[in-house]
Structure 1
Amino acid sequence: MAAPLYVFALAMIISTLFKAGRNIRSSNDANPNGSIKLVCFGITIVFIGTMGNLVPALGQYPVELFASFINAFLLMIAIYKYRLVELRFMVTRGLVSALFIILLIIAYIFSVIYIEKHISAQYQSIIPYYTTLVALAVAITIQPLFKLSTRLVDKMFYKTEYTQRQALRAFSTRISNNLDLDSIARELIEAVQLGLNATHVLLLQKDEENKHYNVFATSSQLYQPALQLSPDNPIIKWMHDNNAGLTRGQLYYHPIFKSMWESEKEQLYQAGIELIIPIKVRDKIIALLMLTRRKNNVAYTLDDLDLLSYLGASSAVAFENARLYTRSQADAITDSLTKLYNHRYFCQALSEQMDKIGTAELSLLMIDLDLFKLYNDLYGHFEGDRALAMVADILRRNVNNRGIICRYGGEEFTVILPYFDSRSAHALAEKIRTDIETSFFNVNDVTQRFLTASVGICTYPHGAPNTEELLKRADLAMYTAKNQGKNQTVIYTPRFIKDNPSPFDVEDIYRPNYTATIYALAAAIDAKDHYTFGHSQRVANYVTILADEMCLDKAHIDILQEAALLHDIGKLGIPENILTKTGKLTTEEYDAVKKHVELSITIIKHLPTLNHVIPAVIGHHERWDGKGYPRGLKGENIPFTARCLAIADA
């Protein structure tokens, strides 16, 4: 009669074992697999023990009881180690406290009764005093014993919860007034490890520039997986939609993650990631918390997920505040255009580096872009900003991490070079200068747009005794480079004090030569084409009258007069047969005449004291509708002085 039942039980057990085995082979999650294996072994052993009753030789022994005992042992391991079933031994603090009070009362009663029985008659009068004293002692000890019992209950029956509460309390206290991002990350990782006993913890932070999530901090220097999640990764999308943590099982079985690349899954698998928790602020995921398996291989529970979610939520605000604080600190010392350090940081860094190097050498480079105001006037402030950003990139590329690069102000840059002598600093400065020159030179630019730099160098302690003198003398060397023709590097030496004038007197030194230079150039063109010289004089007279009527100041009138005398100076480079031709010019001849504007600029560029007339000269053939030449400017994009000159020239 029992044979069919045994056959049916065998078929069910074989079917269960087959499905469990297939699930084990297809799964990457170790914790459920371990519990399934133990349960399967237990069922198999119980079935074998039951089948043993069919064998007469074994039936006389309690084989099935022994098999059941082994099965129970395996189930206990599955429940405890792998949390197959979540069981708790519930002991309330009230019950334990009541037990302590009952024990105190019993001890009090027995002590009083014992004293009454064994004390002699002559001391019977002290019994009321003894009773009162013991009652007072009991009343005093109740409160401490209640606290002690609470701690004992937590440690004995709520050990995990007690550890987690302690970790939470310590973490909340430490991050409450913390604005250091590294410190908060460290505290969070320590709290997770203490509360959940995780083997390793990873923190991925969102990069504000490329929006990717990169490893920011780990629980160990030996554990540094190369993980990176893009903003369109299914993990990020899932966390945005569900606002919850992600387990390893969900990652491998949920349909939404089928679209992940196998390489991405392999990275997570190799890193041993078991849990992923989002850290969100205002529905934006700013960081990810990742955990590997516990040190005792016990599976994570739903309560653990709740704890991690609380930690993520409580740390999110602290993270965001620290990020904003760090960003504001960086903005305070960073130039917004070039992303270099600003003047404020330069002053601080120079003093710090001087204190740091002691008696060692330190060189300071002062770099000024030549005729940068003119560059802005000719090509506009947008192009000027692009040029400054390009120079910043050149400096970063050449200096790298050997020095501190700062934008000192306007078109001036500084480079602090600790442990650089004058020779090494000069070699680096020349490399920077030539890089700037070649980067901006463009032979195909009809306006010959290019930019150069003048560099001054001073080295501590040989060239300057302190910070103030170092800065002043590097600045003097830079002005000397500009006065000697620009686009060169000059090292400060003691002879500068007696051989070089103040940089503020340079303009006054050269200004008296303006008029002589202008008329010398006018005489040169008069020798080639008398009409052009007479025309330039008439234009100068007309533009002066126009400027007077517009109530312009003397500085603008002087610029307009000088520009009028020089606006056709480029015709020196035009063939005489074209200039003196009486008939209509051909298309080729007209194109040759139009080049006189660029030729004028080429001549004037070699006269640094006259560069202020270039905006008027280069734009006097532009038209309001944009059909002029050489740049095709229109409207108010044409410089004001060029518009005045164009009216007089018409």
Structure 2
Amino acid sequence: MGTYGYISIIAMVCYAFMLLMFLAAKRNKIVNSFLVVLTGLLLWTGGSAFMRAQLWPQYEFWYQVSLFGILLLPYAYYRFILAFGGVREGMVGKLYLAVILTCLVANIWNGFFLACPELVEKNGTPTFVYDIKPTILVLFFLVGAFLLHLFVILVHICKANPNMKAQYDPVMIGVVVLFAGNVLISLPLLSGFPIDVLSGVVNVFLLFYALTRRRLFQLQMLASSSLCYGVGFLFSVIVFFNVVPYLQKMLHLQMDTNMTIYALVFAVAFLVIYALFTFLWKLLVRNVFVKEEIHQAEKIKEFSSAISKTLDLQKILNETIHVLKELMDVGNIYICMQDAPGQPYRGFASDQPLNDLAFSLEEENPMIQWLSVHEEPLIYREFRYTVEYKSMWESEKHQLDKKRIRYCAGLKDGDCLAGVLLITSPSSKKGLVYDEAQLIASVTSVASIAIKNARMYEKACIEARTDEMTGLLNRKYFYEVLNEEFEKNKDSSLALAIINVDDFKLYNQLYGIKEGDVCLQHIAAIIRSSVGDSGYIARHGGKEFAVLLPKYDLFSARNLVESIAKQIFVMNNRRTDMKLKAVTVSAGISAAPYAARTVKELMENVDLAVYHVKHSGKNGIQVFDTMFRNTNQQGYTKDRAHIYREYETTIYALTAAIDAKDHYTFSHSNNVLYYATALAAALGMNEDMIEIIRQAALLHDVGKIGIPEYILNKPGRLTDEEYEVIKGHVEASIDIIRHLPSLDYVIPAVIGHHERYDGKGYPRRIAGEDIPLTARILCVADSFDAMTSRRCYKKAFPLEVAREKLLLDAGKQFDPDLVYKFVECLDNGTITLVESEELQ
């Protein structure tokens, strides 16, 4: 076969091996273009070898195949270099391919450019003689111009990103070797030696090396069983056919006479060679090519196992730093984390305890934006030549350049970028190693899953121990903290304060539940900002907050609570969208060990102090100590029924005050009492509800005490300003009633007696069933008495007229069911008209 034939076969085996590796590679444009290069080399080398061997169908066919492979190579390299640099293929390459194919067809037809060589014998050796025509210069010019265009593109790519030059070095060396091999074949010294084929083999291995640097081929795939068996088979075939003649001579075997023995011997020989080459290939690959990769894979597996067993975020980050330091030759490693969306990424962990973590990266930083979109790590040296880098602030560039950043990688929490990994170079001269980028990607992908799980666990823990609306600790978790802090502070002071919002039910009734929630959130924010890191804050009840203050004495705790109470009182003054009443609080304070020996006693003492403030007029702060307990314990055990009897006299005192100012209002309240309680009884309501309606009827206009008499007794039509003053009597009534804690149950009826069923009333403009039933009853009774009573600005309507007006406004101003029942009672005499008194 000769040296040329053997080397050609070896070259084709190498190319076949590369094709096997191609099947194990990641599919992308670069790898696909590498396949085109392999195809050109296979066509060229295989065509040349088969032509010299004069294999079937004939040498002329293999010549044309070889020529096509040679002319295809420039286009293959064009695609490869463009894909390698991330540049899109233009029309020039497609035009070259079309022209080349046209030239090849023309050459096959009549040998216009380079005719098929003539086979002659020289000294008994077949030799190919070429007839070189001037037309071959067309092909040289075409290929040369195309290669020059490719060189210009390459220069532009390296100018735009100088770091690409190092990546292109193996590619360009391979092209030079290939070109040199084809030039040197014309030298007499190398006549008969296949230097051109050998240069092709060197070239393809250099290309393969360039791809492995970019991690487009995984060297670990070389050790896969299928590839080992394939490589072993290819080499075994080559060696076997070269060993067969020697075996025949040694054993004196002839195929015709010793057929059985011949087949057995050669089968055994092939199996031995095949097993030997397969074993040697595995040994070579494992100890030379993939030893480091296997070590890295084992470390990453250990890392994955370690972080999968913990939900501690700090431990996960420490393990991530540790495995990277162990596997890579790098400088410092920093991890920046984001507390919440929109906030900057702050230094959170580092490989050295003394490293400066007082830096941050804003969410709008172009590098952060790049990492949030891409999965792979960012090579900072290459990033410096991108548009994103150029759009960064100079201060941001200086901060990263100062730390000699080498790689940046994102730590993802789902689709969100939870953190950023920054890796610095041990020295400014260290070159890029693309294996490191892939290694970082593997580590960060595992770490990201662990971070996501840790954050989900942390979020679940926070949700389990915090109040959803205010973000403070919830009652259950607060008691755990209270017990822990009580044990920690046995030898020092532990202050506890309970802050209870006064008349919060009234606030909800005045402005609605949604506004009430906003109020609680504002109060929580005030307490949180006042306490800061000095203590713990919890939502202890619906309208109650607990503040635990380790190391605080009673005096310091009182000063803090006084500051909080003042801020709460004026917080609604800042509202510009609507005017709201001031909010007051009743607070109790106690401390251990001065006034409590146990957690239970501490809580009881604080509750007792709050109770004292509530029943002493609200809007105050009471500090509980031993003296307070001894002197006031008896007052807290008073019979509550006795308190209610005290307020019974207060009701009549208020109505008497109304009578002294405006006799009509006093008479009107008594009339409404009669109509409302009669309607309630007709509806079948129980005695408790009738009693509530009775007291509400007496107090529903108590707020008119504060309205000037000239407005109350004005004979003509009220102005808009005067009408607004009249409307204010509802909230004025509530402000008076709220100081009577035992009468707070009448507030719903009083606050809603001017609401309309269609939602056009005041003060809250609520409608239908949202208006309390007691208020709807008062509305009917109040309006009926107003219509049938004589006033300074109108005459009394006859009963029939008032009756018709009630029916006419049923479903508009009044609850229709209540109107129909009231009219029914009028008709059957259950309710009779109260005679209007003459005005004085």
Match of 1:544, as an amino acid? T
Alpha-carbon shift at residue 565 of structure 1 (Å) = 0.8
Measure how far apart 1:566 and its partner are.
1.2
Task: Decide whether aligned partners of structure 1 residues 441 and 266 sit closer, same or farther in structure 2, where only a CA change above 3 A counts.
Answer: closer
* Alignment pair present for 1:299 and 2:431: yes
- Larger mean CA deviation between 174-183 and 200-209 belongs to 200-209
Identity %: 38
The 1:213–1:616 alpha-carbon spacing in structure 2 relative to 1, beyond 3 Å, is same
Which range moves more in the overlay, 637-646 or 383-392? 637-646
Distance 1:385 1:555, change over 3 A: farther
Q: Secondary structure at the match of 1:486?
A: coil
Instruction: Decide which of 632, 642, 649 is 2:775's aligned counterpart.
Output: 642
Question: Deviations 1:120-143 (Å, cap 9, x if unpaired)?
Answer: xxxxxxxxxxxxxxxxxxxxxxxx
Task: Check if 1:560 corresponds to 2:693.
Answer: yes
| 1:194 Cα deviation after fit | 1.0
- Please point out which of 641, 652, 671 is paired with 1:538: 671
Partner of 1:100: none
The whole-number CA distance in structure 1 between the counterparts of 2:639 and 2:774 is: 25
8 Å CA contact 2:346, 2:358 repeated in 1: no
Pair 1:397-2:521 in alignment:
no
Gaps of 5+ in 2: 1-150, 170-208, 229-278, 784-840
For residues 225-236 of structure 1, the aligned pairs below 5 Å read 226-230=359-363, 233-236=365-368
Q: For 2:162 and 2:643, how far apart are their aligned partners in 1? A: 82
1:487 matched to 2:624:
no
Match of residue 512 from structure 2: 380
Match 1:253 to one of 380, 385, 392: 385
- AA of the residue aligned to 2:654: L
Is 1:409 matched up with 2:572?
no
Q: Is the 8 A contact 1:215 1:227 kept in 2?
A: yes
Partner of 1:71: none
Query: Aligned to 1:574, which of 694, 707, 712?
Result: 707
Distance in 1 between residues matched to 2:573 and 2:332, nearest whole Å: 55
- Residue 277 in 1 paired to residue 409 in 2? yes
CA distance in 2, matches of 1:528, 1:396: 47
- Pick closer, same or farther for the CA change 1:540–1:253 going to 2, 3 Å: same
Deviation at 1:196, TM superposition (A): 0.9
Q: 1:425 aligns with which of 551, 557, 566?
A: 557
Question: Of the candidates 512, 516, 525, which is equivalent to residue 645 of structure 2?
Answer: 512
The worse-fitting range, judged by mean Cα deviation, of 171-180 and 551-560 is 551-560
Q: Choose which of 588, 593, 600 in structure 2 pairs with 1:461.
A: 593
For 1:136, the equivalent position in structure 2 comes to none
Residues in 2 aligned to 1:367 and 1:89: alpha-carbon distance in whole angstroms: 68
Q: 1:364–1:474: 8 Å Cα contact kept in structure 2?
A: yes
Q: Distance in 1 between matches of 2:766 and 2:625?
A: 47
1:594 corresponding residue in structure 2: 727
What whole-Å deviation, never above 9, does each CA across 1:467-505 have from its counterpart, x for those lacking one? 111111111112112122211111212342562358686
- What TM-score results when the alignment is normalised by the length of structure 1? 0.72
- Find the structure with the greater CA-based Rg: 2
The CA distance in 2 between the partners of 1:243 and 1:401, in whole Å, is 38
Whether 2:525 is the aligned partner of 1:525: answer no
Q: Deviations over 1:559-608 (max 9, x none)?
A: 22211111122222333344344454455554443343343233333433
1:339 maps onto 2:471 in alignment: yes
Q: Decide whether aligned partners of structure 1 residues 191 and 32 sit closer, same or farther in structure 2, where only a CA change above 3 A counts.
A: farther
Alignment of 1:36-51 (within 5 A): none
Aligned-partner Cα distance in 2 for 1:503–1:536: 35
Shift of residue 421, structure 1, vs aligned partner: 1.7
Tell me which residue corresponds to 1:547: 680
Question: CA-to-partner distance for each residue in 1:302-321, whole Å, 9 max, x for gaps?
Answer: 22222111112222221111
Aligned 8 A contact 1:477 1:491 in 2: yes
CA RMSD of the aligned region, Å? Answer: 4.0
Question: Taking structure 1 as reference, are residues 433 and 541 closer, same or farther at Cα in structure 2, changes over 3 Å only?
Answer: same
Look up the match of 1:348.
480
- Which of structures 1 and 2 has the larger relative contact order (alpha carbons within 8 angstroms, sep 6+)? 1
Change (3 A) 1:406 1:640: same
Structure 1 residue 539, shift from structure 2 partner: 0.9
Shift of 1:210: 2.2
- Give the superposition deviation at 1:176: 2.2
1:364 to 481, 496, 500: 496
After superposition, the Cα gap between the structure-2 partners of 1:565 and 1:434, relative to the gap in structure 1 and judged at 3 Å, is same
Structure 2 distance, partners of 1:435, 1:392, is 11
Greater shift in the superposed pair: 272-281 or 462-471: 272-281
Deviation at residue 264 of structure 1 after TM alignment: 2.9
Q: For the residues of structure 2 that align with 1:84 and 1:290, how far apart are their CA atoms? A: 21
- Are residues 1:439 and 2:568 paired? no
Give the equivalent residue in structure 2 for 1:180: 312
Q: Distance in 1 between matches of 2:292 and 2:361?
A: 32
Cα shift readout 1:221-270 (whole Å, capped 9, x = no counterpart)? 3142613141x544344445543221123311233544333333333222
1:208 is displaced (CA, Å) by 3.0
The one-letter code sitting in structure 2 at the alignment partner of 1:337 is M
Opposite residue 247 of structure 1, the aligned amino acid is I
Compared CA separation, residues 206 and 590, structure 1 to 2 (3 A): closer
Taking a change above 3 Å as real, the CA distance of residues 504 and 638 of structure 1, as seen in their structure-2 partners, is farther
TM-score by length of 2: 0.57
Are the structure 2 counterparts of residues 417 and 225 from structure 1 closer, same or farther at C-alpha, using a change threshold of 3 Å?
Answer: closer
What letter corresponds to residue 415 of structure 1 in structure 2? V
Where structure 1 has 5 or more consecutive residues not aligned to the other structure, the ranges are: 1-15, 37-78, 96-145
Amino acid aligned to 1:611: D
Please tell me whether the aligned partners of residues 377 and 615 of structure 1 are also in contact (alpha carbons under 8 angstroms). Answer: yes
Q: CA deviation at 1:284?
A: 4.0
C-alpha distance 593-405 of structure 1, shift in aligned 2 (>3 A): closer
CA displacement, residues 85-121 of structure 1 (integer Å, 9 cap, x when unaligned): 99x99999999xxxxxxxxxxxxxxxxxxxxxxxxxx
Q: CA deviation at 1:425?
A: 1.7
- Partners in 2 of 1:185 and 1:443 — Cα distance? 44
2:376 and 2:294 mapped to 1: Cα distance? 24
Cα distance change of structure 1 residues 255 and 401 upon mapping to structure 2, 3 Å threshold: closer
- Partner Cα distance (1:281, 1:591) in 2: 56
With over 3 angstroms needed to count, the CA separation of the structure-2 counterparts of 1:599 and 1:358, relative to structure 1, is closer
Q: Which amino acid aligns with 1:344?
A: K
Secondary structure at the aligned position of 1:401 is classed as helix
1:336–1:226 Cα change, 3 Å: same
1:50 corresponding residue in structure 2:
none
Counterparts of 2:579 and 2:734 in 1: how far apart (Å)? 8
- SS of 2:405's equivalent? coil
Cα deviation, 1:261-317, whole Å, max 9, x if unaligned, reads 333333322232211223335444333322111469533422222211111222222
Q: Does 1:263 align with 2:395?
A: yes
Cα distance 1:584–1:337, how it changes in 2: closer, same or farther (>3 A)?
closer
Q: 1:346 to 1:506 in 2, by over 3 A?
A: farther
Counterpart among 732, 735, 750 of residue 617 in structure 1: 750
Distance 1:89 1:360, change over 3 A: closer
406 and 499 in structure 1: CA distance in 2 versus 1, 3 angstrom threshold: same
**Deviation digits for residues 533-574 of structure 1, max 9, x if unmatched?**
221111112222332344444443322221111112222233
